């Protein structure tokens, strides 16, 4: 029923594909207008008002590797790298 459409981004002027799956999703949600911007421009617009997240470096309490976290580590509280954190979540 739906076919891929090539649209022009009103922000950057580049062509982008409005896929049949995306069109079906839009129809299910009741959206009547096609997207005006490409995925990259939509993402940039979405994040424009958000302040950049400050990341902190710490040592992983489990493997000893470097962990980058979005909070300031507190002495006496364990911090885990992404890999070790995921392993611990799976075990719980």
pLDDT in tens, 26-84: 999 999 999 999 999 999 999 888 888 899 999 999 999 999 999 999 999 999 999 99
What is the span of the domain harbouring residue 76? 56-91
Examine the domain organization and report whether 17 and 41 are in the same domain: yes
Quote the pLDDT of residue 30.
96
Examine the domain organization and report whether 9 and 31 are in the same domain: yes
- 15 class by beta-carbon count within 10 Å (0-12 exposed, 13-18 middle, 19+ buried): exposed
Averaged pLDDT for residues 5-23: 97
DSSP state of 33: S
Instruction: Please give the Cα distance from 10 to 13 (Å, whole number).
Output: 6
Quote the pLDDT of residue 52.
80
- Number of folded domains that form the chain: 2
Quote the pLDDT of residue 47.
87
């Amino acid at each position: 029923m739906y076919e891929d459409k090539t649209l022009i981004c009103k922000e950057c002027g580049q062509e982008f594909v409005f896929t049949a799956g995306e069109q079906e999703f839009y129809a299910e949600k009741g959206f009547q207008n096609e997207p005006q911007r490409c995925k990259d421009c939509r993402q940039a617009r979405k994040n424009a008002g958000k302040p950049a997240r400050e990341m902190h470096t710490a040592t992983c309490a489990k493997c000893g590797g470097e962990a980058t976290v979005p909070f300031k580590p507190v002495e006496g509280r364990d911090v885990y790298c992404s890999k070790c954190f995921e392993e611990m979540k799976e075990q719980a």
